[in-house]
Amino acid sequence: MNVPTIVTPELQKRFHVPGRIAALAGGLLLAASAYLPWAYDGDALDNMAFLGGPSTLQFLGALLGLLLAVSAGMAWVEPWADRKGILPRLLMVSRRAGWTRGTKALGVGLLGFIAVVLIAIALELGGLVTIEYGGWVALAGALLGFVGSRLLTPGRAPSLEKVKTPAWLEIVSIAVLLLVALLLAAYALNQNDGGTFLSILAFIGALVAFILRVGAGGWLSAAGQRHRNVLVFSSFAVAFLFPFTQNGSDANMSIATQVLIFAATAVGLNIVVGLAGLLDLGYIAFLGAGAFTAATMSQSAFATIGWKPPFIVVMLIAGLVSATLGLIIGSPTLRVSGDYLAIVTLAFGEIFRISMSNLDGSDGPDLVHGSSGIPAIPNLNLFGFDFGKVHTVLGIPLGRFSNYFFLMLLIMALIVLVFTRLNHSRIGRGWVAIREDEKAAEAMGVNVFGLKLLAFAGGAFLAGLAGAVKAHVDQSVTPDQYIFLESAFLLAAVVLGGMGTVMGVLLGAALLKLVPEKLRFVNEYRMLIFGLLMVLMMRFRPEGMIPNQRRVLEFHSDDEELVEEIEEDLPYEFAEEH
Amino acid sequence: MTYYLDQLLNGLSLGSLYALIAVGYTVVYGIVQLINFAHGEIFMIGAFGALSTWIVLSWVTGGSTAWWNLPLMLVGGMIVAVLTAVLMERFAYRPLRNAPRLAPLITAIGISIFLQEFVRLFYGQIPGFPDAKAAIPFPQLEFFTGPAIDVGGLQVHRGNFFVMAALLICWIFLWWFVNRTATGRAMQAVSQDPDTSRLMGIDVDRIIVVAFAVGASLAAVAGLASGLRYGNIDFKMGFLAGLKAFTAAVLGGIGNINGAVVGGLTLGVVEAMATTLIPGQFGGPAWKDVWAFVLLILILVFRPQGLLGAKVVDRA
Amino acid sequence: MRNKKLLGGAVALLSASLLFAGCGSRAESSASATGGTATKTAKIGVIAPLTGDLAVMGLGIKNSVDLAIKQANESGAIPGWTLELAAEDDQATPDVGANAATKLAADDDVVAVVGTLNSGVAQPVQPILNSATIAMVSPANTSPNLTQGADLSNPTRTYPNYFRTCTTDAIQGPFAAQYLFESGIKKLAVVNDKKPYGQGLAEAVAAKFKELGGEVVADETVNKDDKDFSSVIDIIKSKSPEAVYFGTEFQLAGPMSKQMGDKGLNVPLMGGDGIYDAKFIELGGREKDLATSVGAPIETLESGKSFVESYKAAGFSDGYSAYGAYAYDAANAIIASLKQSLASASDAKSARQATIDGLSSVSFDGATGKVAFDEFGDAVTKTLTVYEVTDGAWVAKQTGELK
C-alpha cells in the first residue's frame, strides 16, 4: 500500500524512546478506561454504561491495551532479563519475535477497534454526545498508542519459524488456536447487535494482525506445514463441533449452511479462475443447474420428472449435468480467451437464467414451471436419517439446518480434497502454466484445451453437487436466485479471499455471506460498500486476504523485498508438492 | 408489409441507442484494450444528469417542457457523464494500467455496482429531487415526444427521429474529430502503438482521458434519448443496455468506430426481428435476449474480429 | 526471578478484578431492570424486502404492521402483554428470507409473522415457520399453490400455519376477465412480465376470458428489465385487440401504456392490484386504463379511511404502498387471535399453536373489507373493485363479487 510516509526513518530514530513510552502508556490508559463508562446508555453494544464494571467488549479492548503495553515494553524487558539471567530459553524465543512490528500492527488495530466501537455507540444511540468520558479516554489511549507505535523503528524481522519446538507443542497449539477460533466465532455469531458483531470482527482483526506481525504466524504456518494432516483434521473437527455451540438454535446454522454452499461453489470457481486463470462471470448457472436438476427429480409434488432415484444418484446426476454445461461453456475457450471469454461466460449465465424462466409450458416445455420455480421440495432422508427432524446428541438438540450443515461439511471436505489434490498434481501445474503463459505451456507439451475443459467441467461438477443440496436446504428453486449479481458475488469471494487458495476462498465466502446477515443496519448500503470494496481491493491488495504466494509475486513483482521474502519460502512449498 | 417495416424501424431506433453507447466501449478499448464494463452506468448517469438539469431549470421556468430545454439538458447530462467517466478513469483504472488481466475487469464490475447503488441511495437525498429507488418519470418535451407521426402509413414515434438523428450527427462529428483534429489523430496513433506515440510527444494519459470523455458524451446523448423515448429512467437501466451495447461493439468489431455503429444497428434489428420471425415456442419476446446472447457467443467464437474487423489483442 | 512472579501475580490480580467487578455491578442492575416491568412481551414478526428494488412495498408492509401493533398497545387490546415488532429483511430473495424465518423461529417471543411479499420467498419460509408452529399471514402472496398445494383441481392444504389477506390470481384474474367481457370487449391481448405474480394473473385472465367466449388474440411476454416495448406493441397491434391485459407491477405497466399510446394503439390497458398505484399514472398510464383491487374502495369503508388517516398521522417516511392495507389487516387478524391465545398463556412460545387455531375463526371488518379465512387459509372476501384512470387519478368504477 502506498500510504504516504509522514513518519520518516529519521523521525523514528530521534523519537523512538518517547514513542515507546507513549505506546506503553497508551496501552495502559486504554486498559484502565475499560473500568469507566463508555456509553451514556446501556442499549448500545453490550452495555458499556457502568463505572467499574467492564463489559465483554470493554474487556477485550483492555486485553488489547495490555497486549500493546507488554509488546512495547518487551524492548526493555528483554535486556533487563538478559542482565539478570532470567528464563534464558524463553528469552531466546522472545528474541526471535518481532515485538516492535507487532506493536505497530497492534497500534493500528487498536485504534481501528476503538473507532469501530465508538462509531457504533454513536450510531446506535444517535450522536457523538452519547459517548461517555470513558470512551474518550479509551480513544485518547488508542491514539497515544497509535502515534507512539508509529514512532518506533521497525526493528528486526521475526524468525520464530526457525525455533525448534517439540511436535506435541505444535499440535496442541494448532488445536488450541482452532478451538479459540471456534469459540470466538460462536460468540460473534450469537451477537444479534450489528455493532457488537463488527466490534468483535475488529478485535479479531487486530489480534490476528498482531500475531502475524510478531511472527507467530510464521511459526504457526511452519507448524501447520509439518503437521498438515493434524491441521486439516482439526479444522474439520472444529467445524463439526460448531453446531454444538448453538444450544439448539438454528438461526446461525441456517446462515452457516448457506455459507458452506456458497463456499463450495466458490472453491469450484477457484479452480477455473484461481488455478487455470479463466475468468467466469456466469458461474452461478452451474449451481443453478445442479439445484434445478435435483428439484425436478425430488419428491416435491411440483417436480416434473417422474423418475425419483435416491439422493446420492440425484446428486451425481446434478453434478454431471452441471459438468456437461461446463464443457459446453468451456468449449469456446479453444478460440476465445481473456476478456472475451469473460463475456462469453456472462452471456451463458444470462442465457441459463432466461431459459429457466421460459421453461414454463407457454414459452417452452414445462420443465421447471418458469419463474415460479419448484417449491415444496421435501427434506432429505438418507439411510433412515431424516434431515427435517431435530436430533438430540449429547443432550444438545441439533435442528434441520445443523443436519444439512453436517452434510455440506462432508461435501466440503470432498471438494477441498479434490481441489488440493488437483492443485498439487500434474494437472494443477498444467493449469498454472496455462495461466502464466498459454503459448509457452502449449510449447512445453501441456494439453491446453483439454486442461481448460477439465477446469470448467471439474469446477462445474463441484458446484452442481452443492446445488443439489441447496435445492433441499432452500426447499424451493426459482430462476431469480441465479442472477448475474450472484456470479459477481462468487467472483468477489474468490478475489477478496485470495485466488488459488482454499482458506482464502472460505474466508471470503464466509465474510460475504455473514456480514450482510449480521450488519442489517448497513443493509441498505451493503451493495454500495461491496462495489467500493471490490474497487479498493483491486487497487491495494489484488492478491486477496490470504493470497497464494505465487500470485503475490505476480501482482507485486516490483516490490523487491517482498519478492525475496517469498522466493525464500517457495522452494519449500514446491518440495512439499513432489 | 407495414408490419415488418414497423418492426424494422423499432429495431433501427433501438439499435441507434445501442450504437451510441457502443461507441464508448469501442473508443476506450481501441486505446487501452480495457473493457470498461461500467460504461453502461455512464449512460444511466447521463440520463440522470439530463433529468437533474431539467429539474433545476423547472425551479425557474415552473416546469416548462418547451423544446429549448433539450440542448440544456443535453449539455447537463454530458457534463455529469464526462465528469464521472474521467474521475473513474483517474482513480480506478489508471492505477491498474499495468496490472494483471483480471484486475481492471473486476474493478469495472465493482464500479458498476457502486454507481448504481450510489444513484439509487443518494439521488433522492438532494433537496427537490425525486426518489430514485423506483423508476422516475422523464419530462416529455414538446416536439420531441408526443403522438406518432404518420410517414407513408408507418407510425413513427418522434423519439425515434431524435435518436436516429442523434446517432447520425454524432457519427459525422466523430468521424471529423478522429480524422481531422490533432487530438483525434493522436488517438489513432496511441491505439496503434502507445509506446511510440509517447516517444513522438503525445501525452498518452491525456488521450486516454479524451477517449473516456468522448464515450461518455455519446452515452449521455443516448441517456437523454432513452428518457425521451421511453418516458422514464431508473438506476438499473444501464446494466442491460450496457451489456447489449458491448455485444454490439463486439459484433461490429471492437476498437472500430464504424463497427460499433453497424453492430448496434444490426443487434437492434436482430432483436426486433427475433420477436416476430422466429416461429414456435422458442421465438417471441421471451427468447429475444437469448438469441442476442447466442449471436454474441457465435461472433466471439467464429469471428472475434467482428463484422468490420478490429484490432484483437490477446490478453489472456 | 521474584520480580517476574510479582509481575505475573499483578497481571492475574488485575484480570481477576476485571472479571469480578464486571459480575458484581451487572447482576445488581439487571435485577432492578426486570423488577420494574409488569407486562410480558410477545413479538409479531415481519418478513418483507426492506431494502432493494421492492423496498417501497416492503416498508409499507412493515410500517402498517407497526401501526397496528402501536394501536393495540395503546388501547390495551391484550391485557398484561406488550406487543413488539420484529422486522426482518428478506431482500426479496428466498435464501435471505429463509434466514430471516429461522431467526424469528429461534426467538421465543415471536408468536406470528406477517409476510412475505413475494410468493417465491414464501416457499422456503412456510415450512420453517410451520415446523416452529408460528402463524404466517401474508399480505401479498398471490400464488394459489401456497394454500392449495400443487394440484389445484384437488386442493389440499400443505401448511396449516399459513394464511393470507390478499386474494389469489384465481380470483382476481377471472374477475378482471369478467369485467372486460361484460363491458363489451371480445378481443383481448394478454401480456405478462415473466414474474410469478404477473404470469399467474395473466394466465388466469386468459383462461377465464376464453371460457366466457371471448377471443385472446395475443399472448406475449416482456423482459422485466426492458424499457423498449415497441416490438411487442407492434405484434399486439397487428392483431387489433380491443383491450390489453398486462400482468405486472406499475413500473412496467406505466411505460407500456405510454408506449401503446405513442404507437397509436389506443385501447385501454388493464392490470391487477400491482398497477393500482399513483405511480402508474405518473409513469405514463393513460386515461381509461383499468386496474382491479381487492375489497371495496377504501374511501367507502370506515375502517379503510381510518387506516389511511392513522397511517398519515403516524408520520412514516414511506407510504403504505400497494400492500399496506392488507398488512394492516393481517396484523389485526393476528392481534384478534392473540387476544384469546395470550390471555391464558404463561409465555409467548406456548401460545403459538393457539394463535394458529384462533386465526381460522377470526372475522372482522378490516381496511380492505371483511377479514376472515377459509379452510385453506385464503381470504374469504371475494369483493373486488375495478378502478379507471379518470382525470389523472384512479376512480372506482365498479365493485362486485366474482361469480
C283 and C193 co-located in one domain: yes
Global pTM reads 0.82
Contact C94 A476 (CB under 8 A): yes
Of the partner residues C232, C251, C261, the one whose CB lies closest to the CB of residue B285:
C232
pLDDT at C5 over 70: no
d(Cα A267, Cα A415) in Å, to the nearest integer?
Answer: 8
Residue B312 in any domain: the answer is no
Q: At what angle do helices C302-314 and C324-341 cross, to 10 degrees?
A: 100
A404 and A468 co-located in one domain: yes
Residue in C closest to A525 by C-alpha: C51
Q: For chain B, what is the domain count? A: 1
Place of cell 469459540: A183
Structure confidence by residue, pLDDT tens digits, B60-80: 888 788 888 899 999 999 999
C401 SS3 class? strand
C391 and C250 co-located in one domain: yes
Which residues in chain C touch residue B237, judged by CB atoms under 8 angstroms apart?
227
Print the domain residue range for B14: 2-302
d(Cα C350, Cα C363) in Å, to the nearest integer?
Answer: 23
User: Is ipTM > 0.90 here?
Assistant: no
Amino acid at C149: G
The pLDDT, as a whole number, for residue C94 is 78
C88 SS3 class? strand
Print the domain residue range for C77: 40-166+323-372
C278 and C228 co-located in one domain: yes
A554: its cell numbers? 505476480
Res. A5 pLDDT band, cuts 50 70 90 = low
Structure confidence by residue, pLDDT tens digits, B221-232: 999 999 988 888
pLDDT at A85 over 80: no
Amino acid at C312: K
Q: Measuring CA to CA, which residue among A525, A528, A523, A535 is closest to residue B114?
A: A528
The most confident of A68-72, A149-153, B245-249, by mean pLDDT: B245-249
CB distance A459 to A449 below 8 Å:
no
B82: its cell numbers? 464526462
d(Cα C261, Cα B231) in Å, to the nearest integer?
Answer: 12
Order the strands of the C135-138 sheet from edge to edge.
Answer: C81-89, C40-48, C110-115, C135-138, C162-164
Of A195, A211, A241, which residue sits at a domain end? A241
- Of all residues in chain C, what percent carry a pLDDT higher than 90? 24
A142: its cell numbers? 488508542
A273 and A349 co-located in one domain: yes
Residue B42 in any domain: the answer is yes
The pLDDT, as a whole number, for residue A553 is 58
The pLDDT, as a whole number, for residue A3 is 47
Contact B99 A339 (CB under 8 A): no
Burial of A442 (0-12, 13-18, 19+ CB in 10 A): middle
Contact B293 A347 (CB under 8 A): yes
CATH number reported for the structural domain that contains residue C254 in this entry? 3.40.50.2300
A202 and A277 co-located in one domain: no
Of the partner residues B232, B276, B285, the one whose CB lies closest to the CB of residue C283:
B232
- Contact of C157 with chain A, judged by CB distance below 8 Å, is answered with no
Which stretch of A560-564, B220-224, B289-293 has the lowest confidence by average pLDDT? A560-564
Burial of C116 (0-12, 13-18, 19+ CB in 10 A): buried
d(Cα A455, Cα A438) in Å, to the nearest integer?
Answer: 15
Structure confidence by residue, pLDDT tens digits, A243-286: 887 776 777 888 888 889 999 999 889 888 888 888 888 899 99
A190 and A292 co-located in one domain: no
Please indicate whether residue C186 or residue A397 has the higher confidence score (pLDDT): C186
Residue A331 in any domain: the answer is yes
Of the partner residues C1, C120, C149, the one whose CB lies closest to the CB of residue A372:
C120
Rounded to 5 degrees, φ, ψ at C136 are -130, 120
A526 and A491 co-located in one domain: yes
d(Cα C213, Cα C221) in Å, to the nearest integer?
Answer: 23
Structure confidence by residue, pLDDT tens digits, C226-266: 888 888 898 898 889 999 999 988 888 999 999 898 888 88
C202 and C184 co-located in one domain: yes
- The whole-number average pLDDT for the span A390-396 is 76
A236 and A335 co-located in one domain: no
Structure confidence by residue, pLDDT tens digits, A476-489: 888 888 888 888 88
CB distance B125 to B117 below 8 Å:
no
C61: its cell numbers? 408492509
Shortest alpha-carbon distance between residue A370 and chain B (Å): 11
Cis-peptide into C116, omega within 30 deg: yes
Residue C315 in any domain: the answer is no
Residue A145 in any domain: the answer is yes
Residues listed for chain C: 403
C74 and C130 co-located in one domain: yes
Which residues in chain A touch residue B301, judged by CB atoms under 8 angstroms apart?
332, 335-336, 344
pLDDT at C24 over 70: no
A478 and A577 co-located in one domain: no
C255 and C391 co-located in one domain: yes
The most confident of A200-204, A364-368, A551-555, B54-58, by mean pLDDT: B54-58
Which stretch of A39-53, A192-206, C52-66, C219-233 has the lowest confidence by average pLDDT? A39-53
Contact C264 B134 (CB under 8 A): no
Find the angle CA(B107)-CA(A274)-CA(A286) to the nearest 5 degrees: 90
Structure confidence by residue, pLDDT tens digits, B169-194: 999 999 999 889 999 999 988 888 88
Q: Which of C50, C192, C193, C234 would you mutate first to test chain B, the one with the most B CBs within 10 A?
A: C234
Quote the mean pLDDT of chain B: 86
pLDDT at C33 over 50: no
A540 and A561 co-located in one domain: no
Print the domain residue range for A578: 548-578
Neighbours of chain A (3+ CB pairs under 8 A): B, C
Q: Measuring CA to CA, which residue among A417, A473, A409 is closest to residue A241?
A: A409
pLDDT at C375 over 60: yes
Shortest alpha-carbon distance between residue C391 and chain B (Å): 18
Amino acid at C256: M
Place of cell 392449495: C148
The pLDDT, as a whole number, for residue C181 is 92
Q: For chain A, what is the domain count? A: 3
d(Cα C201, Cα A191) in Å, to the nearest integer?
Answer: 43
C126: its cell numbers? 412456510
C403: its cell numbers? 361469480
Residue C94 in any domain: the answer is yes
pLDDT at A521 over 70: no
Residue B277 in any domain: the answer is yes
Residue C379 in any domain: the answer is no
C54 and C115 co-located in one domain: yes
Residue A565 in any domain: the answer is yes
C119 and C62 co-located in one domain: yes
The pLDDT, as a whole number, for residue B213 is 95
A571 and A450 co-located in one domain: no
The pLDDT, as a whole number, for residue B103 is 80
C176 and C66 co-located in one domain: no
CATH number reported for the structural domain that contains residue A342 in this entry? 1.10.3470
CB within 8 Å of A520: residues ≥ 6 apart = A194, C88, C89
A264 and A203 co-located in one domain: no
Shortest alpha-carbon distance between residue B124 and chain A (Å): 14
Res. A150 pLDDT band, cuts 50 70 90 = confident
- Contact of C238 with chain B, judged by CB distance below 8 Å, is answered with yes
Instruction: Please give the C-alpha separations between residue A444 and each of A433, A438, A448, A453, in angstroms, as whole numbers.
Output: 9, 10, 10, 18
Contact A480 C120 (CB under 8 A): yes
A231 and A257 co-located in one domain: no
Render the burial of A33-51: b for 16+ CB within 10 Å, e for the rest.
bbbbbbbbebebbbbbbbe
B309: left (phi over 0), alpha (psi -120 to 50) or beta: left
Residue B314 in any domain: the answer is no
Contact B232 C232 (CB under 8 A): no
pLDDT at A540 over 60: yes
Res. C267 pLDDT band, cuts 50 70 90 = very high
Burial of A395 (0-12, 13-18, 19+ CB in 10 A): exposed
Structure confidence by residue, pLDDT tens digits, B131-174: 887 788 898 887 777 777 777 777 777 878 888 999 999 999 99
Quote the mean pLDDT of chain A: 78
Res. B207 pLDDT band, cuts 50 70 90 = very high
d(Cα C294, Cα C308) in Å, to the nearest integer?
Answer: 16
Burial of A291 (0-12, 13-18, 19+ CB in 10 A): buried
Find the angle CA(C32)-CA(C38)-CA(C42) to the nearest 5 degrees: 110
Residue C313 in any domain: the answer is no
Which stretch of A369-378, B18-27, B37-46, C165-174 has the lowest confidence by average pLDDT? A369-378
C137 and C45 co-located in one domain: yes
Place of cell 471456534: A182
C161 and C188 co-located in one domain: no
Q: How many CB atoms lie within 10 A of CB A426?
A: 10
A218 and A344 co-located in one domain: no
Residue A527 in any domain: the answer is yes
d(Cα B136, Cα B139) in Å, to the nearest integer?
Answer: 9
The pLDDT, as a whole number, for residue A555 is 60
DSSP strand pairing (C393-401 vs C383-390): antiparallel
The pLDDT, as a whole number, for residue C148 is 83
Instruction: Please give the C-alpha separations between residue C24 and each of A49, A55, A60, C72, C332, in angstroms, as whole numbers.
Output: 14, 12, 18, 39, 44
CATH number reported for the structural domain that contains residue B91 in this entry? 1.10.3470
The pLDDT, as a whole number, for residue A565 is 56
Q: For chain C, what is the domain count? A: 2
C160 and C174 co-located in one domain: no
